A and B are shown apart, each in its own frame.
Chain A
Amino acid sequence: MASLQKILFVEDDPDIQMVAQLALEAVGGYTVQMCSSGAEALAVAEQFAPDLILLDVMMPGMDGPTTLAELRKKPTLAHTPVVFMTARVQRHEIEQYLAIGAADVISKPFDPMSLSAQVAAIWKKAYEARSSGTV
């Protein structure tokens, strides 16, 4: 089975970036590419070829859903699991995000110590769903 190795993290707040980098690299052992905006993510994503993308919903400029739509236009990223990060955890909003193609939604603020485990579980679920879908 394939494993989760590379994560693209898109978030405009430098504090959250720092904590997430630490949480995903030092605790989880993943390779993390940080981006501060949707535009930056679009510029680097293809080359970095992440296994999973964590995407902040509310960012200045291009917001999370728009970024997702643009990412999906790139053939190599059409099936990469994208997880939204948001402070708004109301159910209908979560449903909206899932409906536009997010693999899952992580609520902010997240617990730095358990972020890696959370991400790993989401990736596993998405991977299994995709494998069973293609069988």
Chain B
Amino acid sequence: MKPDPAEQFEALRRRYAAQISDRVAAIIAAWQQLEQSDWEKSVGIETRQLAHKLAGSAAMFGFVDLGAVAREIDIGLKEWLELDQPLNAYKRRHLAQQIALLQRLATESKVTALLPPLTTTQEPVANPPEPATLLSTQEQVPANLPPSASSPTQEAPLHLPSPEPAESLRKTPVIPFAPREQNGRPRAIIVVEDDQAFATNLSEQLRLFNYDVHVIHDLEGLPTLVRAINPAAIIMDIVFPSGDLAGTEAIAAIQRERTEPVPVIYLSQRDDFAARLAAVRSGGHAYFAKPVDAGRLIEALDRLTGAEESTPLRVLIVDDEPEFGQRCAQSLEAAGIYARAITDPRETLEQLQSFQPDLLILDMYMPICSGIELASIIRQQDRYVGMPIVFLSAETNRSRQQSALSLGADDFLAKPIQLEDLVSAISARAVRARYIKRFLIRDSLTGLLNHQAVEEELSREFARAERLHQPLAIAIIDLDHFKRINDSYGHVVGDQVLRSFARLLQQRLRKSDLIGRHGGEEFLVALPNTSLIEARTLIDAIRNSFAALRHYGPTGPFVVTFSAGIAGYPQHRSQIGAMQAADAALYQAKRAGRNRVVVDTGGSEPATVHAATTHQDQSIPATPAPNWRALIISANGIQRRLLRQELAAHGLMYDLIPDVERALTYQAPITPNLIFVDMTQIEGTRIANLMLLREHFAAARIVTIAPAVAEQRAVASVTFGADDYLLIPLATGALPALLNRLSAHERSNP
């Protein structure tokens, strides 16, 4: 018998997946050679060919993101090779960004390719575990867990640790706030399942994600129910008493009746090919073998029900002829693109900031400044390096067009322009740019804003809250004992937990709320126009839902909890102050036993908990210390937590960055004069990072952070250029002592 083509494709896909890292490594090697050779053409051609090949095949095997980035590199290099002129700095930077992205995606695709198939050996769990437990049963507790983890506190979580919080909260100006709406209306889902306990269980999980769930236990009533509620999706058990594949037959009948097929997700004990094939043939869209991981199921549901709807593309037009700009805008809007036309080029930067376009159309010749000049101004800012710029001009001189292209334009449209050409010419570019931008500001695992983006957005929200005199609540949320999940069940399971949590946040918060992954298992949520009390109620409800959510590991289901600290404006007047207060509140929540939400008790003194003891024990230098503003560079969440608590306790301003690369592009809120850098960032092959830091932060002291067991390596770091080192966990008084040493040094070297 001839093998099934689908299976053969799958075999090819796996083989291809296994080679991705080699292919990407070849591209990166060629790229490095290209940079070293000072952009030698022959090397460029070779690099481009490698990227072009990857671009041509990756998406065919399902690696769409990888293919898109490779295409971006391919196109960038092609442009350079054809123009026959050196690429300018920002195009080079853009290419370098794409190369870095490629590397990241290659690592991820390797993980995806190695994902094990869904298991069928586990029996589904009939009853949900007690909401407040970390793990549902004793035997599922990994051996290395300390007793505290399996004996959780049963009493209600402690929300307000101090007796006076009500008063400090009352100081919040009384401001009417908009009623909180969840993200869109609940979507109707039908669950068809003859196992009643399983059905109840599943629908509970789905409701946590804001789905309106209707359970039906037999197939007879299904067609009527489908007609009655017109569900966004059907979740269906395949095996019913009436026949081994009765579920798929029922669905096939329903789909025949409909003009638009309803998305169907099959669940089954069976994971054999015949069952999967029957599911596909009857019009099924996804297939899950039991036990079902709620997070994966929700991902599939969200995808099928269009929960992640895309917002219209945004285009900004700068043209001094108002009539022309308006006409362009109108035809773009007719095509569903959100367009805005301005006539004064001086407003461009402001509009980029407020309108946030995906693409920019510039007139080539304007009275105040030319399109080329304006493009150069825009490209000087890192955040707009990838913004596509299309020039409009009556210019037909090819060499002048080329010089514009070399100066940062992405395309040329000749005036007079056919309006339908305009739409087709820019929408593909805008879509691609948005796609790429998503990579740069989104965390690749969860799709939430990444560390840098969330901090940037937060500063915008802070400014807005001040301007409008509205409260702003910030919550720092940290999953409890997350490291144990990774240690016990592996990173694949840990990642799934992070994704489920991200989904839950997205489902339960408003569109206007800010949700970011701050790093590791830490998340940042900002709630505009929300008081601390409202924020506490909301985050606590999410805490309850999350604790009720079951995750699946290799040894069965388990439960994860989180702790959160909340602080906000106007109790704190600065972003850094509020962040530190939320951080301190989180620390209290952790110390009080985890799985709880603690609200900052107000006031501008952050983290009084820890300060009380350390300040008494330690002699603080008599002469006033310099005003230290610290930047912590570390990817290690635990290490960062330990250090920042200590810094907050000593009243130091600080900020966090996960790696040296991002530190080098770091901008406000603080100008650091003290850099804490994790030793692993400047050791081995990354030793050049220390020099880069020295150069970039010329006025700052550099201190390495190292685990106490690695003191020898820490000492070595000083010999190759660090100012000092700090061992983690911090010994009592270690930080003040360090600051003393640095201050003394500062005084002796003015």
Contacts and interface: CB of A to CB of B under 8 A. Distances in A.
Interface in A91-135: 91, 108-113
The main secondary structure of chain A at its interface with chain B is loop
A42 interface: no
Contacts of B484: none
Interface in B35-55: 49, 52-53, 55
Given A87-B71, A109-B56, A27 B12 contact: no
Contacts of A19: 9, 12, 57, 60-61
A57 B5 CA distance: 27
A110 B60 contact: yes
B53 A109 contact: no
A2 interface: no
Interface in B495-550: none
A58 B5 CA distance: 28
Contacts, number: 49
B2 A26 contact: yes
B440 to A, nearest CB: 23
B57 A15 contact: yes
Contact of A109 (B8, B49, B59, B428): B59
Nearest to B16: A15
B5 A109 contact: no
Nearest to B4: A26
Interface string B1-31: 0100100110010001000000000000000
Contacts of A111: 60
Contact of B56 (A18, A87, A112, A113): A87
B60 A16 contact: yes
A109 B67 contact: yes
Given A109-B60, A109-B67, A13 B53 contact: yes
Dominant SS among interface residues on chain B: helix
B5 to A, nearest CB: 4
Interface string A60-77: 100000000000000000
A58 B52 contact: yes
B424 interface: yes
A113 B59 CA distance: 13
A22 interface: yes
Nearest to B2: A26
Interface string A79-98: 00000000100110000000
A22 B9 contact: yes
A18 B57 CA distance: 11
Contacts of B16: 15
A27 B55 contact: no
A23 B74 CA distance: 26
B17 to A, nearest CB: 11
Contacts of A15: 12, 16, 57, 60-61
A60 B49 contact: yes
B606 to A, nearest CB: 53
Nearest to A27: B5
A22 B12 CA distance: 10
Contact of A112 (B9, B53, B67): B9
A83 to B, nearest CB: 16
Contacts of A110: 60
A112 to B, nearest CB: 6
Contact of A16 (B49, B57, B67, B74): B57
B60 A112 contact: yes
B424 A13 contact: no
B73 interface: no
16 contacts: A15-B16, A15-B61, A18-B12, A19-B57, A19-B60, A22-B5, A23-B5, A26-B8, A58-B52, A60-B49, A87-B52, A87-B55, A87-B56, A87-B74, A91-B424, A109-B56
Would you list the 4 A-B pairs with minimal beta carbon distance, nearest first? A109-B60, A109-B59, A26-B5, A15-B57
